[in-house]
Amino acid sequence: MDDLIKKASQIYKNNFSNECYFERAVFLSWYCSKGDCKFCWMSTQKNRIRNPKLAIRRLESILAEVLICKLCNWKIEFLSGGYETYSLEELINIIKNINLIYKERLWLNIGVLNRQELLKLKPFIKGITGAVETINPRLHKELCPSKPLKEIEEMFKICDELKIKKSITIIIGLGETIEDFELLKRFIKKYKISRITYYALNPHKGTIFKKGPDTGYYIRWIANTRIAFPKIEIIAGSWHSRLDEIHLLLKAGANSITKFKSIKLFNTELAKNFENQVEKANRKFKSRLVDFPKFGLEDELRPFENELKTKIINKFNEYYKKKISKNEKTY
């Protein structure tokens, strides 16, 4: 194992700087018309799934979160949401508003899109994420009965024609084995994937899963990927109960880390531990999880008309006062 990590680490150093960021997925809604993937939290929320209106997020709430990401130098892993939540026009409007704050085009992860939708979204996004989840075909069929891999593959073919970048998400711990890495390798090559997000399965109450993968097994996937694809961007998810593995995920060749409750746990012992883990991997942490920067909301929100601006500020203050600044007494 040590040799594998050393090799992956060296390949990482040859191809990337030693900077490391925290990446936060921004959720546009908590609704999904599929709602039946067997590991997914959505599958345990039957009422929300029946009524999308209960799960749609207000624009000011999304924008306040994006503003926090920008101020804390968190990268936005992608804009995420379940299938069929918004009309295309609503979605484009949300993304345009987000871009006014974040000033960088972002990846989109909202299910399978058709050619027309991709074409219309292309000017506003960085690329498309396909939530592959598991590359093992038998498992995929069993665990994601309503979103066949074939549909993601068809979307990726259209992305190629339209010159849209592609990324994927993979969950480790669903029952796959390391032998399945060969399938993943073929998939990444075939669809010229430029970014991969790995998650260690975080079993949700009410699903069939009870346990996440061991760190040793999880990092083999990351190291194998780094060795096979020296230049691919790798984002690795951890969880607040698995923070001690973060330095290993980075040594195995991950560029950045995601899946930490960065607002709720801002400036806590856990956030401090996160930063220590990055340091332990000899990486320079460029994001902030412990000290909130000075900010000028008026400047950041200049492009917005007054009514929306006021709503964003109110929401921002709610997040800031209830979650972020309340933890300041921790130190």
Helices (H), the chain: 2-15, 46-50, 59-71, 88-102, 115-121, 137-143, 149-162, 181-190, 215-228, 246-251, 269-280, 297-300, 306-319
Q: Identity (one letter) of the amino acid at 27?
A: F
User: Strand pairing partners for 195?
Assistant: 167, 233
* DSSP count for the chain of H helices, then E strands: 13, 10
Is the separation of the CB atoms in 34 and 82 below 8 Å? yes
What minimum distance in Å lies between the beta carbon of 76 and ligand SF4? 18
Q: Give whichever of 1 and 208 is closer to ligand SF4, judged by the CB atom.
A: 208
Calpha distance 21→111 (Å, rounded) = 25
What three-state secondary structure class fits 94? helix
What minimum distance in Å lies between the beta carbon of 9 and ligand SF4? 32
What minimum distance in Å lies between the beta carbon of 329 and ligand SF4? 36
- The site for ligand SF4 (CB under 6 A) is made up of 32, 34-37, 40, 42-43, 82-83, 131, 144, 147
Calpha distance 49→32 (Å, rounded) = 6
Q: Give whichever of 21 and 199 is closer to ligand SF4, judged by the CB atom.
A: 199
Calpha distance 92→104 (Å, rounded) = 15
Q: Identity (one letter) of the amino acid at 163?
A: K
What minimum distance in Å lies between the beta carbon of 32 and ligand SF4? 3
What minimum distance in Å lies between the beta carbon of 18 and ligand SF4? 33
Is the separation of the CB atoms in 246 and 279 below 8 Å? no
Torsion, CA 4, CA 9, CA 11, CA 13, rounded to 10:
-170
What three-state secondary structure class fits 15? helix
Q: Give whichever of 131 and 236 is closer to ligand SF4, judged by the CB atom.
A: 131
Q: Give whichever of 144 and 248 is closer to ligand SF4, judged by the CB atom.
A: 144
User: Strand pairing partners for 280?
Assistant: none
Q: Give whichever of 34 and 264 is closer to ligand SF4, judged by the CB atom.
A: 34
Q: Give whichever of 33 and 93 is closer to ligand SF4, judged by the CB atom.
A: 33
What minimum distance in Å lies between the beta carbon of 49 and ligand SF4? 8
Q: Give whichever of 138 and 189 is closer to ligand SF4, judged by the CB atom.
A: 138
Q: Give whichever of 8 and 32 is closer to ligand SF4, judged by the CB atom.
A: 32
What minimum distance in Å lies between the beta carbon of 207 and ligand SF4? 11
What minimum distance in Å lies between the beta carbon of 143 and ligand SF4? 9
Calpha distance 200→243 (Å, rounded) = 12
